[in-house]
Amino acid sequence: MAGNGERWPDRAEWAGKIFSAGWRESEGGTRQVIEPASGQVLAEVGVASPADVAQAGARAARAAGDWAAAVPSDRAEILLRASSVLREHRDTFRDWIVRESAGVPAKGDYEIIAALAQLTHAVGLASQPRGEVLNPQAPGGTSLAWRVPLGVVGVINPWNAPLLFAMRALAPALALGNAVLLKPDPLTPVSGGVLVARLFEDAGLPDGVLHVLPGGAETGRAVAADPHVAMVSFTGSIEAGRAVARVAGEGLKRVSLELGGKNSLVVLEDADVAAAALAGAVSTFGYQGQACVAAGRHLVHADVVEAYTDALVGHARSMRVGDPRVEGVTVGPVISARQADRIERIVDESVAGGARVRTGGRREGLFYPPTVLDHIDRAMPVFTEEIFGPVAPVLPFHSDAEAVELANDTAYGLTAAVHSGSVPRATAVAGQLRTGMVHINDVSAKDAANAPFGGLGISGNGSRIGGTASLEEFTQWRWMTAPGPV
């Protein structure tokens, strides 16, 4: 890394280590961090073994009591200082996000802005009213119910938005008085872990309240199983989410799962086709389609499907593919060979089944170009599977009812977008979609710190993070009665 990336944080302090009441050598060895665009080794981080996780869990449990007892305004002040540190070192965060996760600089800027919003919103959570005065069961008595921290929260983080997703769980959990074990994804352990630890160190977070434990599935299982962890917040694949839920379920822990999506962008015949196609391009091709909220289906009324597809193809062909650090590049590589292989299989099998490639469709290494397919049927993998790549399948429909039926033909239920010249009509269609989120005349891929984020079906377990939903997620009720006033 160049510039600020070498000056902050001090590489000699964190290289090859984990963060658990200070930077420590790990029992799990080390792992190299590889840049997808070049194959270059960027850094080396520690890998937390199950023994490391156990030690961190015990330290977090010891620190959690004092942190929960801290004056809420003191916790809020640390979050405000963390915001200042992030702003001061935003260039470093952006550089690491670009090089580790292969997003263009605009993607790095978006993550930073969104992470700052999460911190700001969490400041307000710290001062929310904590409970209620209930009607007592006997005259003159007292009945109170209030929210208390869970204790230690485990956060298992994905690679596709490492800073944002870390902060989306970490900021409210800390604001509400919990200690945290954060396990960043092994592909993005610096932007999703090391920098986060350093951020809160500089902000003055007390020792032991935050532990950053890079590693793979073994580390994640240890976090989910640790007896000191009361809740696990997981973002990632369905398969990994089910595994986390099984392990956490053995300990009867609270689990928040934010998983995948097969999201539809619906375009009615009275829509502004140019605006809808731009929203569709952003929804599918942004960050190479590697987002749970990306549009995986473009459902377009038959009267405008040709014009829409032509416009979408135009956007796809105008996008430059390459190293995201190069000026003018708008589409970087996908995160790994495994992911590139998956995208290639889904497209090739669909083409073999009769789909037509309008543009793209051929990878070069980890670089998969924006791709538009039509002549889709509902048995094809591009219709049924979450692609997690820059591929836009376009399907026509002939009525609003058919559009709803196509959109709902999935076990997922995360997000959707509906485009129409009539907002009431779009709202009526949106109201019939089985999704946890829906957006009118906009992209499918939206996130806001003050909004409850989450999905239905196999997109999650019904939990929500964001807004006042975070208060519900990261605290639990306590009830107290007394025979007289207290």
Summarised one tens digit per residue, pLDDT across range 290-325 is: 999 999 999 999 999 999 999 999 999 999 999 999
Burial 39-77 (b: 16+ CB within 10 A, else e): eeebbbbbbbbbebbbbbbbbbbebbeebbebebeebbb
Question: What is the DSSP track for 317-334?
Answer: HHSPBS-TTSTT--B---
Distance CA 20, CA 14 (A): 11
List 292, 327, 364, 473, catalytic entry: 292
Distance CA 435, CA 460 (A): 11
Asked if residue 58 and residue 103 are part of one domain, the reply reads yes
* Per-residue H/E/C for 211-248: EECCCCHHHHHHHHHCCCEEEEEEECCHHHHHHHHHHH
5 band by pLDDT with thresholds 50, 70 and 90: very low
Residue pair 265/419 in contact (Cβ under 8 Å)? The answer is: yes
Asked if residue 100 and residue 244 are part of one domain, the reply reads yes
Residue 453 lies in a domain: no
The fraction of the chain above a pLDDT of 70, given in percent, is 99
Instruction: Read off the pLDDT of residues 407-447 as tens digits, 9 standing for 90 and up.
Output: 999 999 999 999 999 999 999 999 999 999 999 999 999 98
Instruction: Read off the pLDDT of residues 89-110 as tens digits, 9 standing for 90 and up.
Output: 999 999 999 999 999 999 999 9
Domain membership of residue 355 as a residue range: 263-448
> Is omega for the bond preceding 9 within 30 degrees of 0, making it cis?
yes
CATH for 135? 3.40.605.10
Asked if residue 89 and residue 33 are part of one domain, the reply reads yes
pLDDT at 315: 98
Distance CA 384, CA 405 (A): 14
Q: Looking at the 3D structure of the chain, how many domains does it have?
A: 2
Asked if residue 283 and residue 218 are part of one domain, the reply reads no
Asked if residue 275 and residue 146 are part of one domain, the reply reads no
**Rg (the chain; Cα; Å):** 23
pLDDT at 6: 54
Asked if residue 272 and residue 251 are part of one domain, the reply reads no
Residue 361 burial (10 A CB sphere; 0-12, 13-18, 19+):
buried
CATH for 332? 3.40.309.10
- The alpha carbon of 62 is separated from its chain's Cα centroid by a whole number of angstroms, namely 29
Asked if residue 53 and residue 38 are part of one domain, the reply reads yes
Asked if residue 475 and residue 388 are part of one domain, the reply reads no
Asked if residue 290 and residue 366 are part of one domain, the reply reads yes
Residue pair 149/143 in contact (Cβ under 8 Å)? The answer is: no
Asked if residue 332 and residue 204 are part of one domain, the reply reads no
> Measured between alpha carbons, how far is residue 340 from residues 293, 310, 324 in Å?
19, 26, 17
Task: Return the amino acid letter for 41.
Answer: V
Burial 459-472 (b: 16+ CB within 10 A, else e): bbbebbbbbebbbe
Residue 454 lies in a domain: no
- pLDDT of residue 9 exceeding 70, the answer is yes
Distance CA 184, CA 154 (A): 11
Helix (H, G, I), strand (E, B) or coil at 113: helix
Residue 381 lies in a domain: yes
Instruction: Give me the mean pLDDT over the 236-251 stretch.
Output: 95
pTM for this entry: 0.94
Residues 6+ apart with CB under 8 A from 401: none
Burial 278-307 (b: 16+ CB within 10 A, else e): ebbbbbbbbbbbbbbbbbbbbbbbeebbee
127 band by pLDDT with thresholds 50, 70 and 90: confident
Residues 6+ apart with CB under 8 A from 447: 114, 164, 293, 453, 466
- The alpha carbon of 463 is separated from its chain's Cα centroid by a whole number of angstroms, namely 14
Instruction: Read off the pLDDT of residues 248-290 as tens digits, 9 standing for 90 and up.
Output: 999 999 999 999 999 999 999 999 999 999 999 999 999 999 9
Q: Beginning with the edge strand found earlier in the chain, give each strand of the sheet holding 23-25 in spatial order.
A: 23-25, 17-20, 210-212, 179-183, 152-156, 229-235, 254-258
Instruction: Give me the mean pLDDT over the 194-211 stretch.
Output: 98
Both tokens of residue 147? 């929210």
pLDDT at 467: 87
* Residue 77 annotated among the catalytic residues of the structure: no
Asked if residue 311 and residue 280 are part of one domain, the reply reads yes
Helix (H, G, I), strand (E, B) or coil at 154: strand
Helix/strand/coil percent split, the chain, to 5: 40, 20, 35
Distance CA 303, CA 324 (A): 37
Burial 21-35 (b: 16+ CB within 10 A, else e): bebbebebebbebbb
Residues 6+ apart with CB under 8 A from 136: 142, 143, 481
Asked if residue 221 and residue 151 are part of one domain, the reply reads yes
List 111, 258, 386, 473, catalytic entry: 258
Residue 280 lies in a domain: yes
Residue 360 lies in a domain: yes
> Lowest-confidence range among 56-70, 336-350, 377-391, 461-475?
461-475
Instruction: Give me the mean pLDDT over the 170-180 stretch.
Output: 97
Stronger pLDDT, 198 or 2, i.e. the higher one = 198
- pLDDT of residue 36 exceeding 60, the answer is yes
pLDDT at 7: 80
Phi and psi, residue 377, nearest 5°: -120, 170
Residue 486 lies in a domain: no
